Amino acid sequence: MKPFRKLAVNRYTPYYLPVLVVAVWQLLGQYGYISTRTLPTPLQVAEAGISLAKSGEIFQYIYDSAKRAFIGLAIGGGIGFVLGVVNGLFPIANRYLDSSLQMIRNVPHLALIPLVILWFGIDETAKIFLVALGVFFPIYMNTVHGIRSIDPGLIEMAKVYELKGFAFYREVILPGALSSVLVGLRYALGFMWLTLIVAETISANSGIGYMAMNAREFMRLDIVVFAIILYAILGKLSDSAAKLMERRLLRWNPNYTKS
Amino acid sequence: MSTHRLGARLHIQSAMKRFGEQDVLRGIDLTIPAGQFVAIVGRSGCGKSTLLRLIAGLEPPSGGELTLDGETIGGHHADTRMLFQDARLLPWRKAVDNVQVGLRTRSRERALDALSQVGLADKANEWPGVLSGGQRQRVALARALAGQPRLLLLDEPLGALDALTRIEMQQLIERLWQEQGFTAVLVTHDVSEAVALADRVILIENGRISLDVNITLDRPRERDGGFVHFEKLILDRILERDSSEAPRGKKLSYSI
């Protein structure tokens, strides 16, 4: 019983299912149950990846995509955070701004693509604009929520101990809102890659989306699938980075010290 | 050195507080000399916590005047510190950093001193989340006293603690009060706590002071006959038991 249990519950258990899926996929492809013109086998995809890595093209594409993604995140996330702090702290600002922002939020931002192409053309600005719009709302909403949910007792305590101005923000407001802001960041990272993929697929002259669309023209399905896997890996990596930040910044909270 | 160790003198003249249509305090007159330990008791909702919040300057009075050493209290006063029922520590700061919040100089050594005064020097680098309720309240006490306040306000600070921790905390508060000589105002619903700690117990009923007794017992207080006498005197007044009627309890009817 014991060795079986050890096999069933260890640190590699999350990887059992993906490995199984890939193995079945390889076997089905290899024995002709799936035509390689529909879906290349994992080995073919890996070969495509290796040859792209050898030529060095892939690193340039990843760099271009990541650069767009993070510039968009910095702009949209920064504006979302600042507006969230302002609207969370000052009810008057919230009255003026919030309902307008909620209206914009309910427009799917990818529906703006035709407009964005007309405004900015098809170069970098358009993609960064879309990414910024996509990450703005999760960060804005969660910042407002985080500030609203700070214990009023702590705010009164700050009054008794004369914490004012910048010290008040640094000691009470920002750390109090931080766990919500980080949840917002994790959502935003998801939206960031999603928006970027769509934007790059529609029009680009560099980046992973460009690579995939280019490969489609030549029926290089292995490269197309490789691009999809690359997006999955990048998404997972940024989520893990956000989780690591959570663990580091919220280590005072017993709920985050484990798991 | 000795000037800031003296307590503040508090004078309250016909203080009133109204929330909407409701009169919570209907004219309180009270003078507390420097260094006195006063306990305010009363049923819940009698306005005792509101009075404390007026003294703290957290809320303005609707009428009347409150002065601290002859100076009108308007907004929070730098010499006043308050201990709340919940410790209200910043959960994202370690114990010693929380105490530093109470110091204008933010001096780490002074904060560590204050922590060792409440017997928690070894917990200086713990997060508040891992401390027990009593330890958290002691950190809050260290934070309140680190700045050497002249008036300490205590809003049922021991209400949420278990019986043994409460007695320890009472002794700690009494000792620090004797050492530092600040004026103390304690709001509590526990009459025996009031008698154990205070020089003077004040009962508030319907927004007015209805009883003002000096507890003329020696310190440290023993739970002897004198103690029970004062406890019974105050409790009887709160429960409006007439001592002549009390034994004939059969006639009382309770409605819940």
Task: Give pLDDT tens digits for A136-179.
Answer: 999 999 999 999 999 999 998 998 888 888 889 999 999 999 99
> CB neighbours of A148 closer than 8 A, spacing ≥ 6?
A88
Distance from CA of B211 to the nearest CA of A (A): 30
Q: Which residue of A has its CA nearest to B125?
A: A252
Looking at domain B3-79+151-240, which of 3.90.110.10, 3.30.300.210, 3.40.50.300, 3.40.309.10 is its CATH number? 3.40.50.300
d(CA A154, CA B98): 12
Substitution target from A150, A156, A160, A255 for chain B, most B beta carbons within 10 A: A160
In angstroms, the CA B156 to CA B211 distance is 19
Residues 6+ away with beta carbon under 8 Å from B94 = A252, B124, B125, B126, B127, B128
Question: Which of B84, B90, B102 is the closest to A171 by Cβ?
Answer: B90
Residue A128: is its pLDDT beyond 70? Answer: yes
- What pLDDT sits at residue B199? 93
Q: What is chain A's Cα-based Rg?
A: 23
Q: In Å, how far from its chain's centre is CA B29?
A: 18
Does B132 contact chain A (CB < 8 Å)?
no
By C-alpha distance, which of B15, B32, B43 is closest to B206? Answer: B43
- The complex scores an ipTM of 0.80
Q: How confident is the model at residue B247, as a pLDDT?
A: 47
Q: What is the dihedral of CA B43, B45, B47, B50, to 10 degrees?
A: 130
Average pLDDT over residues B183-204: 92
Helix (H) or strand (E) holding A124: helix A124-148
Share of chain A above pLDDT 70, in %: 98
Q: Which residues contact B21 (CB under 8 A, 6 or more apart)?
A: none
Tell me the nearest-neighbour CA distance from B243 into chain A, angstroms.
42
Residues of chain A contacting B111 with CB distance shorter than 8 Å:
none
Residues A204-244 have pLDDT tens digits of 788 898 899 889 888 899 999 999 999 889 999 999 999 99
Q: How far is CA B81 from CA A140, A172, B221, B254, in A?
A: 36, 18, 26, 42
Beta-carbon count within 10 A of B163 CB: 7
Q: For chain A, which domains are there?
A: 45-257 (1.10.3720.10)
B129–A253 C-beta distance less than 8 A: yes
Query: How high is the mean pLDDT of chain B?
Result: 86
CB pairs under 8 A between A and B: 50
**For residue B136, what pLDDT band results from cuts at 50, 70 and 90?**
very high
Tell me which chain A residues have a C-beta less than 8 angstroms from the C-beta of B125: none
Model pLDDT for residues A75-114, shown as the tens digit of each residue = 999 999 999 999 999 989 989 998 899 998 888 888 888 8
Asked if B82 and A159 come within 8 Å (Cβ–Cβ), the reply is: no
Q: Give the mean model confidence (pLDDT) for residues B150-155.
A: 93
State yes or no: pLDDT of B250 exceeds 60: no
Spell out where B119-188 has E strands.
151-155, 183-187
Report strand pairing: B151-155 vs B183-187: parallel
- Where along chain B do its domains lie? 3-79+151-240, 89-148
3 state DSSP class of B68: strand
> What span, in angstroms and rounded, lies between the C-alpha atoms of A24 and B123?
56
Mutate which of A157, A168, A253 to disrupt the B interface (most B C-beta within 10 Å)? A157
Amino acid at A13: T
Does residue B101 contact residue B143 with C-beta atoms inside 8 Å?
yes
Torsion of CA A74, A80, A82, A88, to 10 degrees: -150
Asked if B58 and A252 come within 8 Å (Cβ–Cβ), the reply is no
Nearest CA in chain B to A152: B88
Identify the residue whose tokens are 């980046």: A207
Count helices and strands (H / E) in chain A: 13, 0
- Out of B58, B90, B93, the one facing A159 most closely (by C-beta) is B58
| Dist. CA B131–CA B169, nearest whole Å | 15
Report the pLDDT averaged over residues A42-66.
91
pTM: 0.80
Q: What is the pLDDT of residue B55?
A: 93
Using a CB-CB cut-off of 8 Å, the residues of chain A touching B56 are: 160
Cα radius of gyration rounded to whole Å, chain B: 19
Band (pLDDT 50/70/90 cuts) for residue B2 is very low
Percent of the residues in chain B that have a pLDDT greater than 90, as a whole number: 41
